[in-house]
């Protein structure tokens, strides 16, 4: 009852990298469990800093029933200026709590869990929202950081790879690094473009930037799919001209995301088509004749589902570090 484990980053990476298909299935099933009411996913809590307005640390508490039966919290920082130091923007921890007693059972390095769940949700959406597949299409990735790399890896695992990847980033060296990863590691056809409009004209556009305010003002065309992962790239008019699918509508209508700005501009939510889980279970049909935008706020239950899986795999492999006597008192008296 009082066991407590630490799972370090290299172990987390090993488990996730070796089980991408399992991760995709976990994300898909977690979305469906959430839609069925088998989770508790309250609002995220943002810690901000007056002298660092672009930086934040976010707490994402959640509970997932279904086969998981765990509560937990992800504590993730986002310091965009880290990229100027050539270190990752985000760092994170995930705490898992036993549902029966409430006691913490594990602490995991979670930046990779966060990246994997974001990437896997994008891949699940890509498969569901372009059911005809990606053969003969072009896909642009705007923003070439760690999230973008993970998204490309999970798109490949899900079979959602186009004829050509176009990579655009304001830092050309980062863009070329992702192109190299796509070409040399993933075996895909990729090229860098410095022209944003060229990227925005692709059949599928994936946004993985650190943008805080919209810079894309021209609506997409019918047939285009935008994976709006970074949430703040698109002007409200772009949202209003599209069919819009969300991971969770209420969560996305906060924190001045592009959908939130669209809601503020119109005073309503007529632009909402439905949730990805609704698409997956057949309750939501995306209409023809409009572009489609998928906006995932990022649900803590996804971190919880992947964290539980990583913890189980790490323990089974003997790679979770048990901390003896972590709790000082184990008796009431």
pLDDT in tens, the chain (333 residues): 799 999 999 999 999 999 999 999 999 999 999 999 999 999 999 999 999 998 999 999 999 998 999 999 999 999 989 988 989 889 999 999 999 999 999 999 999 999 999 999 999 999 999 999 999 999 999 999 999 999 999 999 999 999 999 999 999 999 999 999 999 999 999 999 999 999 999 999 999 998 989 999 999 999 999 999 999 999 999 999 999 999 999 999 998 999 999 999 999 999 999 999 999 999 999 988 999 999 999 999 999 999 999 999 999 999 999 999 999 999 999
Q: What is the pLDDT of residue 89?
A: 86
CATH number, domain containing residue 16: 3.30.1780.10
Same domain flag for 181 and 268: yes
Residues 134 and 107 in one domain: no
Structural domains counted in the chain: 2
Q: Whole-angstrom Cα distance, residue 311 to residue 11?
A: 9
> Is residue 208 within 8 Å of 174, Cβ to Cβ?
no
Check residue 86 and give its pLDDT: 87
Q: Are residues 166 and 284 in the same domain?
A: yes
Q: Are residues 287 and 307 in the same domain?
A: no
Do both 103 and 171 map to the same domain? no
By three-state DSSP, how is residue 221 classified? Answer: coil
The pLDDT value recorded for residue 73 is 98
Say what the pLDDT of residue 10 is. Answer: 98
Domain that holds residue 245: 130-295
pLDDT value, residue 104: 98
pLDDT at 84: 86
Please report whether residue 78 resides in a domain: yes
The sheet with strand 243-246 has its strands ordered as 190-192, 164-168, 138-142, 204-207, 225-227, 292-295, 243-246, 272-275
**Angle (deg, nearest 10), helices 300-316 and 20-35:** 140
Whether 214 and 243 share a structural domain: yes
153 domain residue, yes or no: yes
Reported pTM: 0.94
Strands 90-98 and 52-64: unpaired
Assigned domain for 210 exists: yes
Residue 191 belongs to a domain with what CATH number?
3.40.50.720
Domain membership of residue 56 (yes or no) is yes
Q: Which helix (H) or strand (E) holds 252?
A: helix 249-252
User: Same structural domain for residues 58 and 150?
Assistant: no
For residue 175, is it within any domain? Answer: yes
pLDDT at 202: 98
Give the pLDDT of residue 83. Answer: 84
* Same domain assignment for residues 91 and 151: no
Kindly state whether residues 101 and 160 are assigned to the same domain: no
Residue 222 lies in a domain: yes
253 and 159: one domain? yes
Residues 284 and 306 in one domain: no
Same domain, 277 and 135: yes
């Amino acid at each position: 009852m009082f066991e407590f484990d630490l799972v370090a980053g290299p172990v987390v990476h090993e488990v996730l990298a070796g089980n991408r298909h399992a991760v995709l299935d976990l994300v898909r099933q977690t979305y469906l469990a959430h839609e069925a009411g088998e989770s508790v996913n309250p609002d995220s809590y943002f810690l901000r800093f007056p002298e660092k307005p672009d930086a934040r640390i976010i707490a994402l508490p959640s509970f997932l029933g279904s086969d998981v039966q765990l509560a937990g919290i992800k504590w993730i920082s986002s310091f965009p200026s880290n990229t100027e130091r050539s270190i990752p923007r985000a760092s994170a921890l995930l705490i898992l709590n036993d549902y029966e007693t409430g006691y913490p059972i594990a602490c995991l390095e979670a930046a990779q869990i966060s990246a994997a769940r974001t990437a896997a949700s994008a891949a699940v959406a890509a498969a569901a929202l372009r059911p005809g597949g990606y053969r003969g299409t072009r896909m642009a990735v705007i923003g070439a950081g760690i999230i973008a790399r993970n998204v490309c890896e999970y798109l490949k695992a899900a079979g959602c790879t186009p004829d050509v990847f176009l990579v655009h980033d304001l830092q050309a060296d980062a863009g070329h690094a992702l192109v190299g990863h796509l070409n040399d590691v993933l075996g895909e056809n990729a090229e860098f473009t410095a022209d944003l409009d060229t990227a925005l004209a692709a059949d599928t556009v994936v946004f993985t930037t650190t943008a805080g305010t919209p810079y894309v003002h021209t609506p997409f065309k019918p047939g285009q799919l935008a994976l709006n992962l970074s949430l703040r790239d698109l002007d409200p008019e772009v949202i209003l001209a599209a069919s819009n699918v969300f991971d969770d509508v209420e969560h996305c209508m906060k924190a001045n995301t592009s959908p939130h700005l669209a809601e503020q501009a119109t005073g309503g939510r007529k632009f909402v088509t439905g949730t990805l889980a609704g698409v997956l279970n057949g309750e939501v049909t995306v209409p023809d004749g409009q572009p489609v935008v998928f906006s995932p706020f990022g649900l803590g239950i996804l971190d919880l589902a992947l964290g539980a899986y990583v913890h189980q795999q790490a323990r089974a492999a003997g790679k979770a570090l048990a901390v003896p006597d972590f709790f000082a008192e184990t008796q009431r008296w």
